[in-house]
Structure 1
Amino acid sequence: MRPAIVSIAAKSGTGKTTLVVKLIAELKQRGYKVGAIKHDAHNFSMDREGKDSWRFTQAGADTMMVTSKEKLAIIKQNPDQQEPPVRESITRYFGDMDIVITEGFKKNDFPKIEVHRKERSPRLLYRDDSYDSTLIAVASDSPLQLDVPVFELDDALSICDFIEERFLSDRRKQ
């Protein structure tokens, strides 16, 4: 069974990461296998200069893995120099998850929960600027009248209830 996918999207500085962390923790507490993908528009680096893994990739390793009894991490060079489609990454690396939460992929076609902070921007991305049929809910620090459910920004429990009911009702918990 493919994992359910929910995107947390918003303008920068609204609290996407804080919400994603709360959702992951709550979904794990409820017994689900949870994956997460963060979009980074910058050229991130997981390696620290001088570490063995950094030295391996600097030497030209196309794929490098660090393993321990608790974790594994893969650094794979991207020869295309183009960002791979997120759906392809989910299919390839997250097949054993119940749900994958993506953060920062504003233009994907996955169901989206928009994070909104009135002080950051009075306008929503997916209703004020343009209509996006993938918007399924909004987490906001101010009341809004919309055609989708609106949750308090800090109410991760209710947002998880919504996600669970909508996407995970047919999944077995761990």
Structure 2
Amino acid sequence: MRVIGLAGWSSAGKTTLIVKLIPCLIARGFSVSTLKHAHHGFDVDQPGKDSYAHREAGASEVLVASANRWALMHELRGGDEPRLGALLAHMSPVDFVLVEGYKRDPLGKIEVHRLANGKALLYPDDPSIKAFVSDAGGEGLLLPYADLNDVEAVATLVERLAAPLDETIARLERGALDF
């Protein structure tokens, strides 16, 4: 299992890019999972459903299963937000895990940048940025570059730059920026 982050400011196109990257990597013969950070509370079930009632009643975990899928919800009940390394350790084996968000964590990342946002780059202030994907060009950068709309080129960057899961978790636990 190998891990790479896609990081950037809101509206840079991270989700759109990931949605295009997944089928591209699958077409290359790889299995892919994603891990997405949310900055706010969210629900994956809905009021009126049994799983919602179980969770609201105080269950620490609720696992819902059917012939088509299963989902495990874990309520923190005021506890600390889990660290990225702990979440990655819960993932089932695949070839690549694409991590969206966690832009401040020390995992290898591809920066996604959209010129129209007018936001500052994360690179070069973040040494964990290993490549740059943008609609603005990569002139003057000392990083591998791909156009934001060239999904095949971005998939090649993912293949080249994703790090093994154990190395990623160890780096996250150390808080290391030793790339």
Structure 2 length-normalised TM: 0.84
Q: Quick one: which amino acid aligns to residue 67 of structure 1?
A: A
Matches within 5 A, 1:59-138: 59-79=57-77, 81-91=79-89, 93-121=90-118, 123-127=120-124, 131-138=125-132
Is it true that 1:162 corresponds to 2:162 in the alignment? no
Who is 1:15 aligned against?
Answer: 13
Report the identity percentage: 34
Q: Quick one: which amino acid aligns to residue 57 of structure 1?
A: R
Instruction: List structure 1 runs of 4+ shifted beyond 4 angstroms.
Output: none
Query: How big is each residue's C-alpha offset from its partner over 1:98-126, in whole Å with a ceiling of 9 and x where there is no partner?
Result: 11111011111111111111110253122
CA distance in 2, matches of 1:9, 1:166: 14
CA distance in 2, matches of 1:148, 1:161: 14
| Alignment: residue pair count | 162
Measured at CA, do residues 80 and 98 of structure 1 come closer, stay the same or move farther in structure 2, by a change above 3 Å?
farther
What are structure 1's unaligned runs of at least 5 residues?
Answer: 169-174
Task: Report deviation, 1:162.
Answer: 2.1
Task: Report deviation, 1:166.
Answer: 3.7
Query: How big is each residue's C-alpha offset from its partner over 1:20-75, in whole Å with a ceiling of 9 and x where there is no partner?
Result: 11111211222212110110010111121111111111111111111112211011
CA distance in 2, matches of 1:59, 1:51: 12
Tell me how large the CA RMSD over aligned residues is.
Answer: 1.6
